[in-house]
Amino acid sequence: MLLRSLFFLLFTGISGLVLIPAKERLFLRQFSLGITSLVFVLSLFLWLGFDQSTSKFQFTQDSLWVPIFNLNFNLGVDGISLFFIILTTLIFPLCLLASWSFEKGSLKTYLISFLSMELILILVFTTLDLLFFYISFEAVLIPMFLVVGIYGSRQRKIRAAYMFFLYTLLGSLFMLIGIVYIYLSAGSTNYEALSLVSFCLYDQKWLWLAFFASFAAKVPMLPVHIWLPEAHVEAPTAGSVILAGILLKLGSYGFLRFSLGLFPLASIYFTPLVFSLSLLGVVYTSLTAIRQTDLKRLIAYTSVAHMNLVMIGLFTGTVMGIEAALLQSLSHGFVSSALFLIIGVLYDRWHTRVVKYYGGLTHTMPIFVLIFLFFTMANLGLPGTSSFVGEFLLLASAFKANNTACFFAATSLVLGGAYSLWLFNRIAYGNIKISGVDISARELVVFLPLILGTLFMGVYPHIFFCAMHATVSNLAWVNMWG
């Protein structure tokens, strides 16, 4: 019933936006913010009513679609998807509040795109059918394509939108072929039914590679990461927040839910490949971030580094590693979203993202700089923040799996310090190059939930681990690894 209520609210919101006249701009904003805020409050009841002692799917909804071919629409929530849903429902109202003064293009289309994205993303994290997962996984490209292509900030926005669309779409075609093969072999695309099917190693390898092509482009892993910096630079602030905060999680979620859950033997077989690509991604993108002069491009490369670190945790084959990777994914959703919102605050005032034009903001925007310092330290993994817990446990599990991999993964901490502190120093200190008004009350309200979430996850991560532990512990591939 809870899941149906979430979808009903969002569908009502989209329908309402279609009916509201375009000239009622303030009411359009208020209505959208009210719907997304209500969806967030309702999603918290999923957590409150979640049974942490079982690995079974909860809040399930089953609907017949084409029963004669054993194709049905199934929804459910477990310890893996629970926090991704809550993260999604939290980020969207913050994005709408952050873009309150956004005036470019049709506001109605802009808001409909965001509510459609939220609806589809919740569907991605709750669907228990491979076919419907693929449909929703690809459907989210459409509203994001519109957001980047129509509401982007520069002339290359069309190119960036097509790069984002084509990179992720082409990779997913292989996943579609894999899903068709699974349906023809097992007679079903239901996840719970397929988890009881044991594919032979040969089939697992090819199916794993088919799913890998899709999820690797979403993480993104090298060498299919080129679309991300382009999309981030051209997208509006709210679009960048959704990209970094939620869309990148679709890759790691897909790996954990389907690649590792359904093809455990192939996951073990391809672990060296994943480790190699992820370590290369961590080092390469961290070094690349250091030499960036565009604020958004710099943070985009750091996102690639952090998500590749998450991939190492997922493939350590330990419960601690997977739980740390999940926590790090959630932490990245908070911290990277905040960093892009910080850049958005600067861009709204001076309409430039070039680092050299900023300096001495400590003197003119002290509250802004304080918030910037907090999230810079969180990005570095300062103890007491969410990133520290995730990175520490992730590296500890990586050391148990492969200490050489752990060594190279740990370089991300050193390189992260280099680009993060360099960026903060250039913007906050030195001679005053520009003067402006400090952050407004509305902007402060946007940052407060992210600050509190980052601190709460860093100080009391136990509550998150409790909810995901039963599900993670019962993954077949983890047990096999042992």
- Burial label for 218, CB within 10 Å (0-12, 13-18, 19+), is buried
3-state helix, strand, coil in the chain (%, to 5): 75, 5, 20
Percent of the chain with pLDDT over 70: 98
Strand partners of residue 63:
73
Alpha-carbon distances, residue 326 vs 228, 321, 428 (angstroms): 21, 9, 32
Q: Give the pLDDT band (50/70/90) at residue 180.
A: very high
- Closest by alpha carbon to 86, among 6, 165, 26, 149? 6
Q: What is the mean pLDDT of residues 315-332?
A: 89
**Distance from C-alpha of 153 to C-alpha of 158, rounded to nearest angstrom:** 10
Task: Dihedral sign for Cα 453, 335, 140, 314, please.
Answer: negative
**Distance from C-alpha of 203 to C-alpha of 206, rounded to nearest angstrom:** 5
Q: What pLDDT does 154 receive?
A: 66
Angle, helices 82-98/319-350, rounded to nearest 10 degrees:
10
**Distance from C-alpha of 95 to C-alpha of 193, rounded to nearest angstrom:** 38
Alpha-carbon distances, residue 196 vs 193, 199, 265, 355, 361 (angstroms): 6, 10, 14, 53, 58
pLDDT reading at 67 higher than 80: no
Q: Is the whole-model pTM more than 0.85? A: yes
Q: Bigger pLDDT: 53 or 46? A: 46
Each residue's pLDDT tens digit, 190-234: 888 888 888 888 889 999 999 998 899 888 888 888 888 888 888
Q: What pLDDT does 452 receive?
A: 94
Q: What pLDDT does 273 receive?
A: 92
